[in-house]
Amino acid sequence: MRGYALKIGRYEVPYPVIQGGMGVRISAGRLAGSVARCGGVGIVASAGLGLDNPKFTGGNFFETDALELKNELKKAYEIAPDGIIGTNCMAVVTDYADNVRASCEGGAKIIISGAGLPLSLPKLTEDFPEVALVPIVSSVKAIQLIVRKWLKNYQRLPDAVVVEDPDTAGGHLGDKLENICSGAYDQYATVRGVKAFLQEAGGDHIPVIAAGGVWDRNDLLYALEQGADGVQMASRFVCTEECDAADSYKQAYLECTQADIGLMMSPVGLPGRAIVKNIPNIHQHDRDAEFICPVKCLKKCSYRECGERFCIVHALNRAQHGNVDTGLIFCGSNAWKADRISTVSEIFTELFEIGSVDLDVRVENG
Ligand SMILES: Cc1cc2nc3c(=O)[nH]c(=O)nc-3n(C[C@H](O)[C@H](O)[C@H](O)COP(=O)(O)O)c2cc1C
């Protein structure tokens, strides 16, 4: 079998697994550090961190968001001082530029950016040329747009590309609701299409990473066989001791069936994949609540603009804290496969059939 190592920008990643960013503290410093310590890429998701900072007073979300992002990066590096640790920054959030800046200042080696096209990412990181830039796309057209713009304006190519499959991935999805699971999408045809385009654009060294539905070693080997250079896995890391979510959040994964996982519309205007059985409760919670938007976290939000749907940052935050009745639990289509709480090192051991001695990185609680 070929060597597994993956090169992203100037960083050599021992195992070709990126832990997908999971917003509002599902993947914070502890999970990211633990994955990086096992030899994968650990990703702190930047979305919604500010709500839990002790200095958050209601009106200073953007400030506390940036502070928390740096705190979580610090925690991750305490676990894996030499690890490959980065952040996930979503283009749809109001403080996108601040998140990117805080990522660079906090020592992120990689910024993975989707939920909108990260057209300005090279500009926002121009003082930090060592930071690898990785767009997330769901189509060849999207990467063509990004690459043409980046080449024209910044003479820069991406350092890797994540191709996220709307039919299987968790969280916000990059296609219209009616197109998802319609049979129109072919995950690995898109991976190969993106690879072919990058080669034409002079980037045959650029790794293309498949995201969505990768759960076990067979899925990983299949992805590599189908032309991906690595995988991004998110849902699989939720049921680990090191995941930053509350125990009842992890329990919701353990208890969910395939029929509980579905699509919903987010107030940002994008569809998302989640455990959907409690979505009516989330709507009801915000219908009952006094209409408030203390943080204006999204550039475009139907809840803020006209009270439609619900406040997503608070719904995700409630879930992260363990309120699974009125909290939003994003998950990929394979989350029903979770059957126990393991450790991150156990997942790596299974994925790569390696001795757990090499990866005995059990992290202390807290
Ligand atoms: C709980 C959860 C939260 C997520 N949050 C984000 C996020 O903040 N930003 C983002 O770009 N992707 C987010 N995603 C998508 C993942 O990073 C990843 O690409 C996708 O879920 C991969 O599919 P998998 O979960 O089947 O492995 C999230 C996914 C989950 C399951």
Which three-class secondary structure state does DSSP give residue 164? strand
pLDDT at 5: 83
What the block records as the tokens of 89 is: 């920054």
Per-residue pLDDT at 58: 83
Q: What atom of ligand 1 comes closest to residue 212's alpha carbon?
A: 23
Mutate to test the pocket of ligand 1, among 88, 134, 163 (most ligand atoms within 8 A of CB): 88
> Which range among 3-17, 191-205, 337-351 shows the weakest confidence by mean pLDDT?
3-17
Strand partners, 85: 42
Please name which of 51, 4, 99, 38 lies closest in space to residue 347, comparing C-alpha atoms: 38
Structure tokens at 140: 């060849």
Q: Is the pLDDT of residue 364 over 50?
A: no
Confidence of residue 306 (pLDDT cuts 50, 70, 90): confident
Of 3.40.50.1010, 3.40.50.720, 3.40.50.300, 3.20.20.70, which CATH number belongs to 6-245+340-359?
Answer: 3.20.20.70
**Least confident piece of the model among 10-19, 49-58, 197-206, 337-346:** 49-58
Ligand 1 and 168: CB distance under 6 A:
yes
Q: What is the mean pLDDT of residues 24-35?
A: 97
Mean pLDDT over residues 237-251, rounded? 98
Residue 42 phi/psi, 5-degree rounding, is -95, 130
Q: What is the mean pLDDT of residues 172-178?
A: 92
Number of H helices, E strands in the chain: 12, 13
Contact 270, 324 (CB under 8 A): no
For position 295, what pLDDT does the model report? 83
| CB 125, CB 154: distance < 8 Å | no
Instruction: Flag whether pLDDT at 137 surpasses 50.
Output: yes
Lowest mean pLDDT among 82-96, 284-298, 311-325: 284-298
Which residue is it, tokens 């029903």? 336
Mean local confidence (pLDDT), 171-177: 92
Task: Check whether 360 has a pLDDT greater than 50.
Answer: no
CA distance 274 to 264: 7
Q: What is the share, in percent, of the chain residues with pLDDT greater than 90?
A: 81
**Mean pLDDT along residues 68-79:** 97
- pLDDT at res. 231: 98
- What is the pLDDT, as a whole number, of residue 358? 53
Contacts of 182 (CB under 8 A, 6+ apart): none
For Cα atoms 42, 313, 234, give the angle at the middle one, nearest 5 degrees.
Answer: 30
**What are the angstrom distances between the C-alpha of 82 and each of 74, 107, 243, 352?**
12, 11, 20, 21
Q: Among 74-88, 264-278, 291-305, where is mean pLDDT lowest? A: 291-305
| pLDDT band at residue 3 under the 50/70/90 scheme | low
Closest ligand 1 atom to Cα of 168: 26
Ligand 1 lined by 274 (C-beta under 6 Å): no
pLDDT for 359 equals: 54
Average pLDDT, the chain: 93
Residue 167 to residue 179: CA distance in whole angstroms: 9
How far, in Å, is the centroid of ligand 1 from the Cα of 21? 6
* Cβ-Cβ contacts under 8 Å for 345 (sequence gap 6 or more): 34, 38, 356, 359, 360, 361, 362
Domain range annotation of the chain: 6-245+340-359, 249-320
Please indicate whether residue 158, judged by its CB atom, sits closer than 6 Å to ligand 1: no
Q: Give the pLDDT mean for 292-312.
A: 85
